[in-house]
Amino acid sequence: MIDDATVSKIFDAANILDVVSDFVALKKRGNNYFGCCPFHNEKTASFSVSPAKNIYYCFGCHKGGNSVNFIMEHENLPYYEALKYLANKFHIEVTETERTPEEQERHDDRESMIVLNEFAKNYFIRNMTETEEGRAIGYKYFKERGFNEETIKTYELGYSLSDRKAFTEFALKSGYQLKYLISTSNGQTNSGTGLTIKHDDGYTFDRFSGRVMFPIHSITGKVIGFGGRVLDARTKGVNVKYMNSPQSEIYDKSRSLYGIYQAKASIVKNDKCFLVEGYTDVLSMHQSGIENVVASNGTALTIEQIRLIKKFTNNITVLYDGDDAGIHAALRGIDMILAEGLNVKVLLLPDGEDPDSFARNHSSSELEAFIGANETDFVLFKTRLLLGDAGNDPIKKAELINDIVASIAAISDDIKRLLYVKECAKLMDIEEAVLKDATEKKISKITYQQLEAAQKERERERRQKEMAEQTPAQQSQTPEQRPILNEETALNNRVCELESELLKYLIQFGDKVLFEVKKENEPAEIVTVSQYILNELKINNIAFKIDACRKMLDIYISTAEHNTTPDDSLFTQCHDADVSSFAVKLLVSKNEVSKEFWDKRNRYVPPEQGHLKEMVDITLNHYKFEIAQQEIKNIGKIIAQLQTEPDNDEKIAEQLTKLGVFQRYIIKLGDSLGIVMPRK
């Protein structure tokens, strides 16, 4: 648990723009920033961030809140963990009071592994700069490869000593536990960093001894794993030059990209990402001024990696060495990028060059000029390449057409696909209609899996929409706990809508004069919106039913008592996460939702243009009507219960009287609202 003062400090420091920018590419529009929503699938940016209000809000799926809400939602963390995340990001020291053993345990593994990796990273850096061996071997290696101090620092490069026990012993001596040093399977994933290898006989040694070290950072800059390269002198007879940290709780190589942390700002700025293969390709390109570059860690590109890039841009340029085998192997992964809706270009380097050597041997302006002149659209590139391979061989040409068809069919955008059919037909010298036909056949074939995926996506969107319409109390339940939408939840939705509407009047127009009460020989007494609504609730003995609404009303009342109108931030920056996310939804859409509310009832008049009293009254009456209906339902239930037991006649009669009162009341309210009630 974190004490209140620290929580306040975290809330004050957690700048929403910094927090969201780690995950979403944002562009400035007016005073706000917009990007594609990370919570629902969309092509146009409807996700907004307001630095002034320190909140985010999506106009598509209506998710909103402050920095804490964002981290909770995006990283799927509980409130407490989200606070810790932000404290860490904004360098706020957290003095923790005691945790329960369960909390401690859950929290420990990941945290300990990250801390250990950080420790190891610093140790490897010190090895390289402060030991003779490190300088003579590790540092010399990077220098010979042409990397300067800044690059070494930016990517936090280091060196692991050749003494096979050096790191493990130092870590143990520094108080780190062996279980986090080694890699142990806990059934599903591995816990532990695997920096140390443990033999069956108990003998332990460093995984990376004698290697130069490349820390692999998460999107937020945490060291989640390492790549280690054997040095040239030792590569003779060694097949595997590079070794990576094993898969673990914190490191999944198919979900991470080398260099993403250092590249993300530049990717957003340039609206483009270069994809290369190896660590040194990234370093050389970055050093030569092209900073929007990442590597796939030597694995075949995965969907998760593509989606990681897609958070920042829709444009990918893949760089290939000139060698033939490499190109053909790499081509395969690209259909997947097309299917994700990204625009893919290909840059083929001159024979014998790789991105590393090419970037090293050319100035940044030469590099940029070369890219500009040689970047080719992927599908056209592939067509030309395969066409060259096929020559005049008809069988090979048929294969080639199939291959191209697969790529074109993967493109989800209809117009783009048609353009490719046109271009490629021309290139391959076949009838456009034939290619179009083949593509369509392929689509119907390949899409079984895609359809399934799309189906799931639609299902997710539907659920999201449903969630948006539910009350916050319902949202915090898991799907299993949530009752199916029945009459009762529908009633709750209406109650939630009306309580929200009343809150909006209070917050937006609370200090506006609603009417004057004339008195003889005395100055007229004014009644504000706030006084009127609060009084109406009081005399009718109504407390708000929806949790978040009630809490907001409490905040409102306690500030109104001091004769001040509460500022929006009092709600949106509230330390109760349910309240803040609900408040953002309510306040951002202050006008829109009101309009929707009144449009439904065919009587929208902007409150600014008078009629405030009329609209407040109608809202209050609608609200009282719903509450009375709930009351009638409750009484019905009570009577049914009483009837199951003997000797309850008196109590039943009592309830029936009460029921009569409410029924007459509701008919009267219904009349004033134009709702026809069945009269019994």
Residues that bind Zn ion (CB under 5 A): 37, 39-40, 58, 60-61
Q: Which is nearer to Zn ion, 286 or 585 (CB)?
A: 585
DSSP string, 449-479: HHHHHHHHHHHHHHHHHHHHHS-HHHHTS-T
Quote the least distance from Cβ 291 to Zn ion, whole Å.
29
* Whole-number Å distance between alpha carbons of 230 and 54: 48
Query: 498: closest CA among 626, 599, 630, 675?
Result: 626
Q: Which is nearer to Zn ion, 22 or 42 (CB)?
A: 42
Q: Which is nearer to Zn ion, 65 or 670 (CB)?
A: 65
How many CB atoms neighbour CB 564 within 10 A? Answer: 10
Looking from the CA of 350 toward its CB, the CA atoms found within 13 Å total 8
Q: Which is nearer to Zn ion, 34 or 123 (CB)?
A: 34
Quote the least distance from Cβ 86 to Zn ion, whole Å.
21
Q: Which is nearer to Zn ion, 440 or 461 (CB)?
A: 461
Quote the least distance from Cβ 45 to Zn ion, whole Å.
10
At a CB cut-off of 8 Å and minimum separation 6, what does 614 contact? 605
Q: Which is nearer to Zn ion, 48 or 297 (CB)?
A: 48
Q: Which is nearer to Zn ion, 35 or 246 (CB)?
A: 35
* Whole-number Å distance between alpha carbons of 437 and 421: 10
Query: 354: closest CA among 280, 295, 292, 299?
Result: 280
Quote the least distance from Cβ 460 to Zn ion, whole Å.
12
Quote the least distance from Cβ 81 to Zn ion, whole Å.
23
Q: Which two tokens stand for residue 605?
A: 């008049």
Report helix, strand and coil shares of the chain as percent, to nearest 5: 55, 10, 30
Quote the least distance from Cβ 39 to Zn ion, whole Å.
5
Pairing mode of beta strands 522-528, 513-519 = antiparallel
Residues in the chain: 680
Q: Which is nearer to Zn ion, 165 or 465 (CB)?
A: 465
CA 383 and chain centroid, separation: 37
Quote the least distance from Cβ 38 to Zn ion, whole Å.
8
Quote the least distance from Cβ 49 to Zn ion, whole Å.
12
How many CB atoms neighbour CB 465 within 10 A? Answer: 14
Q: Where are the beta strands (DSSP E) in 76-203?
A: 158-159, 184-185, 190-191, 196-198
Q: Which two tokens stand for residue 403?
A: 């291959």
Quote the least distance from Cβ 497 to Zn ion, whole Å.
20
Q: Which is nearer to Zn ion, 58 or 411 (CB)?
A: 58
Q: Which is nearer to Zn ion, 64 or 192 (CB)?
A: 64
Report the amino acid identity of residue 69: N
Quote the least distance from Cβ 63 to Zn ion, whole Å.
6
At a CB cut-off of 8 Å and minimum separation 6, what does 182 contact? 192, 194, 196, 197, 198, 204
Question: Counting runs of H as helices and runs of E as strands, what totals does the chain give?
Answer: 29, 20
Q: Which is nearer to Zn ion, 60 or 607 (CB)?
A: 60
Residue 272 · residue 317 · CB < 8 Å: yes
Question: What would the 3-class secondary structure string for 74-125 be?
Answer: HCCCCHHHHHHHHHHHCCCCCCECCCCHHHHHHHHHHHHHHHHHHHHHHHHH
Quote the least distance from Cβ 582 to Zn ion, whole Å.
16
